[in-house]
């Protein structure tokens, strides 16, 4: 393996680690000395079963270059699968230091054509698939902290520009990715006392999941991984509750909802007065960026 050893001795879980961004992250962590648990259910773009074990193939890649990795093929959007994921790291290596939540797939439709099943499936894998591994990892780290072994723990969640700005034809995906941002902020606030830092990255890169929806993306998954590795390492001490966008050679700190122009009359408005005040405030407010695809 080649690298600086930034993650030497750390044990890292990467969900959705068999292809695309997850594979790039797993290989990058291994190159920096981490032992990696590569999770991938091995499904197609729409979540349907597919042949082969992409997680096992990535493990073979890591081992072939002198690294240490194990595969996990469970469904991390179930309580049992998420619990077994954390157990796999602890059984194989005796510890867990970093969780990278990355698993996901797409079922794109305009809202008027979006079936309930397509909504449930995408929200389940992206949002619940972030929550359950996070919950089980946090339970382990809290136990460690209470036992006098405070961890230097890191969580890197995967959101999207679709979740930050919206994306036409991706209402289910955008809602799930926006939910991941909210989850990140809450987790960061609740867990810092246990030695846990939680951040999110909105990657923009050509993968099998994005190439059809965003054909103009020039970046590749390997461009995003260095930031994820740093966030997942001890070197990122003091950084938590932040959202970054990464594309190619560009890294941006995303600044979310914050107080803008305000009017306060100290009493209840009439509808007409409220409308007049809101219209005046909008003239002083920044215009939002366009929704992707609009």
Catalytic residue among 177, 233, 236, 292: 177
Structure tokens that stand for 128 in this block: 């619940």
Catalytic residue among 84, 167, 173, 236: 173
Neighbour count for residue 143 (Cβ, 10 Å) = 12
- Is 128 in the active site? no
Residue with tokens 């408005």: 269
Catalytic residue among 84, 160, 167, 225: 160
- Is 192 in the active site? no
- Is 177 in the active site? yes
Catalytic site positions: 160, 173, 177
């Amino acid at each position: 393996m080649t690298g600086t050893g930034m993650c030497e001795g750390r044990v890292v879980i990467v969900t959705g680690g068999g292809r695309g961004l997850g594979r790039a992250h797993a290989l990058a962590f291994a190159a920096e000395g981490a032992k990696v648990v590569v999770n991938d259910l091995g499904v197609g773009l729409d979540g349907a079963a597919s042949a082969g074990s992409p997680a096992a193939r990535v493990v073979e890649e890591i081992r072939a270059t002198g690294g240490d990795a194990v595969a996990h093929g469970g469904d991390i959007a179930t309580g049992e699968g998420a619990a077994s994921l954390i157990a796999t790291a602890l059984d194989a290596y005796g510890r867990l230091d970093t969780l990278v939540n990355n698993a996901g797939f797409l079922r794109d439709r305009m809202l008027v054509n979006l079936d309930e099943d397509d909504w449930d499936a995408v929200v389940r894998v992206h949002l619940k698939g972030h929550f359950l591994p996070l919950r089980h990892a946090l339970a382990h780290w809290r136990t460690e902290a209470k036992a006098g072994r405070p961890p230097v723990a890191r969580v890197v969640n995967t959101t999207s520009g679709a979740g930050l700005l919206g994306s036409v034809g991706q209402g289910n995906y955008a809602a799930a990715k926006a939910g991941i941002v909210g989850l990140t902020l809450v987790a960061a606030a609740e867990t810092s006392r246990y030695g846990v830092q939680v951040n999110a990255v909105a990657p923009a890169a050509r993968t099998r999941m994005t190439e059809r929806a965003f054909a103009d993306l020039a970046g590749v998954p390997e461009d995003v991984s260095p930031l994820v590795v740093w966030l997942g390492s001890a070197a990122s001490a003091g950084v938590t509750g932040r959202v970054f966008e990464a594309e190619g050679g560009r890294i941006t700190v995303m600044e979310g909802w914050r107080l803008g122009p305000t009017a306060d009359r100290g009493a209840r408005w009439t509808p007409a007065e409220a409308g007049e005040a809101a219209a005046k405030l909008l003239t002083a407010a920044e215009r939002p960026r366009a929704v992707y695809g609009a």
